[in-house]
Amino acid sequence: MGNIFVDDIENLEAYSDQQILKDVRALVGIGYREGAPIDYKKDISDKDNWPQAAAAFANTFGGLIIFGVDEKQGRPVRVVGFNPKGIETKTKLTSILLSRIQPRPEIQIRVVSLDTDQTKEVAILRILEGDRLPYMHSKGDEHRVYIRSVAQKSEADYLQLISLFERRRRTDVLATSFLAELVGSASPLQVYDPLGSNTISRQFYRFVVAPEDRRAARRLTVSAETEFKELLNRIFNCNQRLTQPERRRIFTSVRWSPTNPIEQKFVVSAVGSVGLVSHACLQGDTKRYFSLDSFCRDLINFRVFSARFYEARRYYGTCLLDVNLSLLDGAAVWTGPQQEISVSDILESPIPEISPGSFSTQILIGQQTLTEDVMYDELEATLNELAREVGTALSSSFRAATSKFVKSQLAL
């Protein structure tokens, strides 16, 4: 499964023609509407004003224009392809962009033959968000600056033009700086052991999604806090276990149960990063136990939660998923009852305990519609790193074992 929004669509070895068509059809199958990150066009004629849409993408979020898809009121209906009429499609698209948009935007183009009709093609034009703003569209004597507004382009007004020039002066903010608020020494993503003490636990796992985009920086509003809490209640079943948050630059909620003393903390920062930290271990009579089942379930829930939150906040850029597991005292692997996902379903060679240490990994993700295949790919990327860290491999039954749980969470 590819991720058509963030993967290198020009890499023919990593992203086959068959996969391109499969992913385009998947967007049609779920009725993925035209919006901030995507536009559909039936053919490549510039009479349809797609160069204006391309300029708007360059001035706003970046995005995709998919040619060869019939749409009705912004919803894709079917993949129909277009007839290139003997003209090399990539050359034509590039030529039109160079003649109509200044300065030249950064683009990627992929053209594939339609598998049901080799005389027709499907083309994907990716326009990256520009760093030489604003990008002007010219046709004849008309010279205009467009921005993307939901599923439409609109001409930039005076204040929006000022904003575009201002953004051009600020191009050095990356996701790593957004991570700092939630993973640094002053991070609110800390749990305590024992509960209610002032001792920060050394046994925890932490997930953070940080936007890799300067546009994510925004004021933390009451509406954002409300959406954050409502999503926690729906996806993590927090209900009344959420504590009353402190009103400050970082919004924090905590849940725990007296019958199962595992503290979990959820955070959204002012710049749009979201995070979860949890006790990684249960304390038994004689030793600590680490639950791979809980780790997997919380990671799945967290990805669903972050995707829903960013969708509600109308953010469509790329993000960095940071996963950290700390077991500095080591722990036995919990194999007790009431596990939805068993250890043997996760690891190829189950191990009795995990040695002391700290594990971390980061993967680039796209904040678009989270499908089952995308969820599995992200889980495998993360759990493969964990398996390698503990000296084994991910089980071949991992996808089948997590299928039911992933489907149920994505339906929320």
Q: What is the pLDDT of residues 185-236, one digit of tens each?
A: 778 888 888 777 788 888 899 999 988 765 555 566 777 788 888 888 888 8
Query: In degrees rounded to 5, what are phi and psi of residue 194?
Result: -75, 170
Give whichever of 60-69, 128-137, 351-360 has the largest mean pLDDT.
60-69
- pLDDT at residue number 342: 82
Considering the domain boundaries, does residue 3 fall inside one?
no
Residue that wins the pLDDT comparison between 102 and 170:
102
Q: Are 313 and 208 in contact (CB under 8 A)?
A: no
Q: For residue 81, what are the domain limits?
A: 17-168
- Percent of the chain exceeding pLDDT 90 equals 23
At which of 119, 139, 168 does a domain end? 168
- CATH number reported for the structural domain that contains residue 162 in this entry: 3.30.950.30
Considering the domain boundaries, does residue 369 fall inside one?
yes
Query: Can the peptide bond before residue 211 be classed as cis, meaning omega within 30 degrees of 0?
Result: no
Q: Is the pLDDT of residue 139 over 70?
A: yes
Mean pLDDT of 387-399: 83
**Are residue 242 and residue 130 in the same domain, yes or no?**
no
Mean pLDDT of 62-89: 93
pLDDT in tens, 31-50: 999 988 899 999 998 777 89
Q: How many helices (H) and strands (E) does the chain have?
A: 10, 20
Determine which of 162-171, 192-201, 347-356 has the lowest per-residue pLDDT on average: 162-171
Q: Is the pLDDT of residue 246 over 50?
A: no
Q: Are 100 and 139 in contact (CB under 8 A)?
A: yes
Residues 6+ apart with CB under 8 A from 355: 327, 330, 390
Specify which residues 147 forms β-bridges with: 154
Tokens of 397: 């039954």
**Are residue 260 and residue 299 in the same domain, yes or no?**
yes
What's the total number of domains in the chain?
2
**What is the pLDDT confidence band of residue 172, given thresholds at 50, 70 and 90?**
very low
Q: Residue 215: exposed, middle, or buried by beta-carbon count in 10 A (0-12, 13-18, 19+)?
A: middle
**Are residue 56 and residue 201 in the same domain, yes or no?**
no
- Return d(Cα 47, Cα 154) in angstroms, integer: 17
**Are residue 240 and residue 341 in the same domain, yes or no?**
yes
Mean pLDDT of 340-348: 83
**Are residue 347 and residue 394 in the same domain, yes or no?**
yes
- Return d(Cα 354, Cα 289) in angstroms, integer: 9
- pLDDT at residue number 354: 84
Residues 6+ apart with CB under 8 A from 202: 193, 326, 328, 329
**Are residue 217 and residue 339 in the same domain, yes or no?**
yes
- Return d(Cα 109, Cα 86) in angstroms, integer: 18
Residues 6+ apart with CB under 8 A from 334: 282, 289, 290, 291, 292, 293, 343
- pLDDT at residue number 83: 94
Give whichever of 71-80, 286-295, 352-361, 365-374 has the largest mean pLDDT.
71-80
Q: Are 332 and 352 in contact (CB under 8 A)?
A: yes
Considering the domain boundaries, does residue 129 fall inside one?
yes
- pLDDT at residue number 52: 93
Mean pLDDT of 5-31: 89
Considering the domain boundaries, does residue 12 fall inside one?
no
- pLDDT at residue number 179: 81
**Are residue 25 and residue 106 in the same domain, yes or no?**
yes
**Are residue 52 and residue 154 in the same domain, yes or no?**
yes
Considering the domain boundaries, does residue 8 fall inside one?
no
Q: Is the pLDDT of residue 260 over 60?
A: no
Query: In degrees rounded to 5, what are phi and psi of residue 350?
Result: -55, 140
Determine which of 248-262, 363-377, 382-396 has the lowest per-residue pLDDT on average: 248-262
**Are residue 397 and residue 373 in the same domain, yes or no?**
yes
At which of 116, 150, 168 does a domain end? 168
- pLDDT at residue number 380: 83
At which of 168, 185, 202 does a domain end? 168
Residue 259's CB is within 10 A of a number of other CB atoms, namely: 5
Considering the domain boundaries, does residue 377 fall inside one?
yes
Give whichever of 174-183, 238-247, 373-382 has the largest mean pLDDT.
373-382
In this structure, is the dihedral angle defined by the CA atoms of residues 26, 31, 32 and 38, taken in order, positive or negative? positive
**Are residue 149 and residue 180 in the same domain, yes or no?**
no
Residues 6+ apart with CB under 8 A from 46: 96, 100
- pLDDT at residue number 245: 45
**Are residue 312 and residue 227 in the same domain, yes or no?**
yes
**Start-to-end C-alpha separation, the chain:** 22
**Are residue 160 and residue 180 in the same domain, yes or no?**
no
